[in-house]
Structure 1
Amino acid sequence: MNCKAIYISATILSSFIFFSCKKEIIKSVPKTDSTSIKTEALKADSTVLNPNDSLYGLVDKSVIGTQFLTKSSLAPRLKKLLGADYDQMIANWNTETPFEKQDNILHAWGCKQHDCNTYSYDLYIDVKNNKINVYKFAKSELTILKEDNFEIELKDNFLKDLNIKKQNIETKK
């Protein structure tokens, strides 16, 4: 090969390498508020539960972050149990505690942001018996929703916390 052909080949090859490695320049940054950033972060870090996932894996996890109320394998059962109250629970579950475990019972609590006295919910899941109970506190009234009329037996700290909430609504009446 002659020198001129080698020079042209090397120039074409180096140009090709140079242009293929060029980084894409971001021309605009999308504008968002802090709420959407927080929501997107939760979606990105969330664990959507599949039917094969262990419920005990929920301990110390956020109900909102795991999308438990809407995308878990128990969401259709919750919807059936709550009926017309399901959408209200989803809308008002803004402030929350993570799931906690006591024996075979999982518990999480959520309420309407800046208005926990008006709407709050205690969600109990009996993992051993595969049953759900929801205690809905709305406008100083308690409604207990029991899946298949099965009452989950609460004790120790879960029972103590629930009794305090019941006493608080009695005082408000």
Structure 2
Amino acid sequence: MNFKTKYISLVLLSSFLLVCCKKEIIKSVPTTDSTSIKTEALKTDSTVMNPTDSLYNLVDKSVIGTHFLTKSSLAPRLKKLMGTEDYDQMVKYWNTETPFEKQENILHAWGCKQHDCNTYSYDLYIDVKNNKINVYKFTESKLTVLKEDNFDIEIKDNFLKDLNIKKENAVTKDKK
């Protein structure tokens, strides 16, 4: 085989490899339109953009197990609502808990300091429809209610019954 034949063979082989590689690259480009790409990108922040998308998925799940207080997109809002010191205290003492419950458009979870719920306990209410948070903080038999944007979440039925029992217990202990 002479030099010219080798050269032509090398060029053909290189061209063939180049064409094959380009076809593979073209095959790997997603076949979605720009709208679906944007939708996928927003899914991680859906609680900020549209809380109903992911907040209802919290029902029957643990606050601790979902890292809701520290890693959810609502965590910065909780910290702003409560202030850094109270927020850090809530995260520290949220040891014993109930899973999230849903009643109409309201989500509720309760947590307290392990072996000392009378000293530190928290009721977290999220109004999914209005995208607002209320925290009822019981500290040493004193109740502090924190309302995001001064919005009062309407607590009804079983949620209200449970909250009223906690309020009565706090008053009773305070009178002792």
Structure 1-normalised TM-score? Answer: 0.71
1:51 & 1:142 partners in 2: Cα distance? 32
Q: Contact (CA 8 Å) 1:108, 1:122: kept in 2 or not?
A: yes
1:1-173 mapped onto 2 (5 Å cutoff) = 50-52=44-46, 53-83=53-83, 84-173=85-174
Count matched residues.
125
**Given residue 75 of structure 1, which amino acid in structure 2 is its aligned partner?**
A
Q: Contact (CA 8 Å) 1:118, 1:140: kept in 2 or not?
A: yes
Could you say which structure has the larger radius of gyration? Answer: 2
Structure 2-normalised TM-score? Answer: 0.70
Q: CA deviation at 1:66?
A: 0.3
**Given residue 99 of structure 1, which amino acid in structure 2 is its aligned partner?**
F
Moved over 6 A (4+): none
CA-based RMSD: 1.1
Q: CA deviation at 1:54?
A: 1.2
Aligned residue for 1:56, secondary structure, equals helix
Q: CA deviation at 1:51?
A: 2.1
Unaligned 5+ segments in structure 1 are 1-48
Q: CA deviation at 1:172?
A: 0.7
Tell me the residue number matched to 1:9.
none
- 1:33-55 deviations in Å (ceiling 9; x for gaps): xxxxxxxxxxxxxxxx9422510
Larger fraction in helix:
2
1:126 & 1:159 partners in 2: Cα distance? 14
Aligned residue for 2:90, secondary structure, equals helix
2:44 & 2:157 partners in 1: Cα distance? 30
Q: Contact (CA 8 Å) 1:126, 1:132: kept in 2 or not?
A: yes
| Identity level (%) | 82
2:101 & 2:160 partners in 1: Cα distance? 13
Unaligned 5+ segments in structure 2 are 1-42, 47-52
- 1:54-107 deviations in Å (ceiling 9; x for gaps): 100000000000000000010000000010200000000000000000000000
1:121 & 1:50 partners in 2: Cα distance? 27
